[in-house]
Structure 1
Amino acid sequence: MRAVIQRVTKASCTVDHIITGQIEQGLLVFLGIEEGDTSTDIIWLGQKLTNLRIFSDENGLMNKSVQDVQGNILLISQFTLFAQTKKGNRPSFIRAAKPQKAEPLYAEMAQYLNKSLGKEVQLGIFGGDMKIDLLNDGPVTIIMNTKDKDNF
């Protein structure tokens, strides 16, 4: 499972001119799911997302988590995080999980985050043609991969 995490002051997802999810201060999380991913990946990444200290404290240091600042999360599924570009110029997405596997894991991650934050995370539409609008704060952007836990 891969995630691109952005600290934002606001973010929204629109599908067919309808806003499906929007937040103010919090995290915009692009989530890519791989064939071998399981609930264990959700637990590890979910804990990291809710406890990652990337929000400023009163001294301007990154010491607070999204929970500490009572922020929100906008969770967007993004299979393109598993693009392989080694051969040619057209990316291959063969490592990305098929929708039948990925969609339930995306929903499971949303449920895990709902429970951890004590409030509902905002969502995109799985498989939808989403338009994402965001104001990156910092900018702070972090990439995580559950298959490479030793480096995160």
Structure 2
Amino acid sequence: MSGYYFAWACCLALVVFLVVLLRRRRLREKYALTWIVVALGVCVLGAFPGVIENIATAVGVVTPSNLLFAMALILLLAVCIQLSVEITGLEEETRTLAEELALLRFDVETLQGSNAPEGTSTAPDGATTTPDGPTGSSGGSRRGA
């Protein structure tokens, strides 16, 4: 089997695998689209090996395989940059959500503290403390000896 046929078969298998991941919702469309385009491009290069030789000649690269490695390096760099941008956005969103959650917890604790009977306070774990001693969430009194 020629190396071109092997590359072509691998790329078709990759496209099928990506479609399966999309259908199972394990991969989002915005990421899969890039990989499907790359796999289809490599399928074309595998089916028509003269294309990469013509491109290498037009660009001025002596060996077509060097052009493939350079293109692969540029593609991987672009993917790393895209994922870094996504991670940055997710970190910002996570920080914002954590701040909003902290504010909401503060508001809930403040409201619980203002609705508690006089002489009681609410602990952070939700247990109520009275002058007689702590009570659990079941409402029963636990007095120490």
Q: TM-score, normalised by structure 2?
A: 0.26
More strand by share: 1
More helix by share: 2
Higher relative contact order (CA 8 A, sep 6+): 1
Q: TM-score, normalised by structure 1?
A: 0.25
The higher radius of gyration belongs to 2
